[in-house]
Amino acid sequence: MNAAALIALAGELLGEAPSRWNEATVQMRELVPDGSNRRFFRLSGQDSPTMIAVLPPEHDQRGQAEAAAFAAIGRHLRRVGAPVPELYGFDPATGLALCEDLGERRLFEQVAEQGPTRSLSAYESAVQQLARMQVRAAAGFDPAWCWDTPRYDRQLMIERESEYFLAACCTDLLGLDFDRPAVAAECARLADEAAQAPAYFFLHRDFQCRNLMLTDGEVRIVDFQGGRLGPLAYDLASLLFDPYAGLPEAMQNRLIAAYLAALREELPYDPAQFRREYLLLALQRHLQIIGAFAFLSGVRRKPFFARYLEPALASLDRLLAKPEAAGYAALHTLTGQCRQELRQRS
């Protein structure tokens, strides 16, 4: 879709007359995405608020399905009061979505400039919003909206997280020789244990500082199109173990307490049970994000993500060194191999 067609379609979705909304009256600037293959544009027309246009790749059925999920899940999250952008219009035929412009400052930029501890208030707000969204958005959530899978479950943990880590990072990127049957058996046991957590809450699945905008002093949530039903602890682990931010352990512990306090206002949930589930789901999240960093840097040739491989592996190494993770010795050994290979290459 060229610029003229995109602007014209946006005008139709907004109910704007062509005389007021066209190439001569609308400014359009393409934005650079992170790991996504979607295209993003900032549009500014006469007497209209600046907005973001999101367009999936043409002739891409999965991209179209992802766009439909963005619209449906976004509308649902707005209805339950989650701080997501307002959707101004959506075209099912092309997947074009027009949504509120939340600016360009993310929690990622604030942490990079000021450090994690000086961003504590924003993180506290984020975990409080997360607890509310997870519980409230589960009510009335339709799994048919999901474009990928309707639920975070054991099969997804194996296929999209542990196998992703073993294939994309350990084999394809680093070419390691390791005891695959032993590691696979531990990954299967980890998935068995993690899958015991109740999985009927709303799960964002990529809740990290690059998907949290800071708009007019408020934390706003984006990139929710991968949402589905799942366990509570996964999204919190995604944020607190986020390699982009490197939160110190003391800050992580404080934020867990803030999250549990907010969760108690929504429903009763045993804190001891939550903490057990948190460790298991944090391990799963690490496998997913390391696989993603390896794929994006090695296959997609996006060097930005390569710099976060070592911090993510170091974080996984520390988790696997905990007494509670003693049953994953082969996975712990493999993590050490990955770190050693990266050091030798640097």
What residue numbers bound the domain in which 52 lies? 3-100
Provide the pLDDT for residue 35.
60
Start-to-end C-alpha separation, the chain: 42
Provide the pLDDT for residue 47.
76
Q: Are residues 177 and 88 in the same domain?
A: no
| pLDDT exceeds cutoff 80 at 36 | no
Q: Are residues 126 and 240 in the same domain?
A: yes
Q: Are residues 13 and 114 in the same domain?
A: no
Q: Are residues 47 and 170 in the same domain?
A: no
Mean pLDDT of 173-179: 96
Of the residues 100, 131, 162, which one is the last residue of a structural domain? 100
Q: Are residues 125 and 73 in the same domain?
A: no
Mean pLDDT of 158-162: 97
Query: 339: closest CA among 297, 296, 309, 305?
Result: 309
Q: Are residues 130 and 177 in the same domain?
A: yes
Q: Are residues 58 and 193 in the same domain?
A: no
Mean pLDDT of 2-12: 92
At 35, which CATH number? 3.30.200.20
Model confidence band, residue 201 (pLDDT cutoffs 50, 70, 90): very high
The C-alpha angle 60, 62, 65, rounded to 5 degrees, equals 110
Mean pLDDT of 226-233: 98
This model's pTM is above 0.85: yes
Q: Are residues 221 and 321 in the same domain?
A: yes
Provide the pLDDT for residue 20.
86
At 258, which CATH number? 3.90.1200.10
Q: Is-contact 247 240, C-beta < 8 A?
A: yes
Q: Are residues 237 and 325 in the same domain?
A: yes
Question: What helix, strand, coil percent values describe the chain, rounded to 5?
Answer: 55, 10, 35
DSSP state at residue 31: E
| pLDDT exceeds cutoff 80 at 30 | yes
Of the residues 53, 69, 100, which one is the last residue of a structural domain? 100
Q: Are residues 216 and 238 in the same domain?
A: yes
In Å, how far are 2, 15, 48, 225 from 9, measured between CA atoms?
A: 11, 10, 15, 22
Provide the pLDDT for residue 126.
98
> Which range (46-50, 193-197, 318-322, 333-337) has the least confidence?
46-50
| pLDDT exceeds cutoff 80 at 25 | yes
Give me the number of domains the chain comprises. Answer: 2
Residue pLDDT, tens place only, 47-78: 778 999 999 988 889 999 999 999 999 999 99
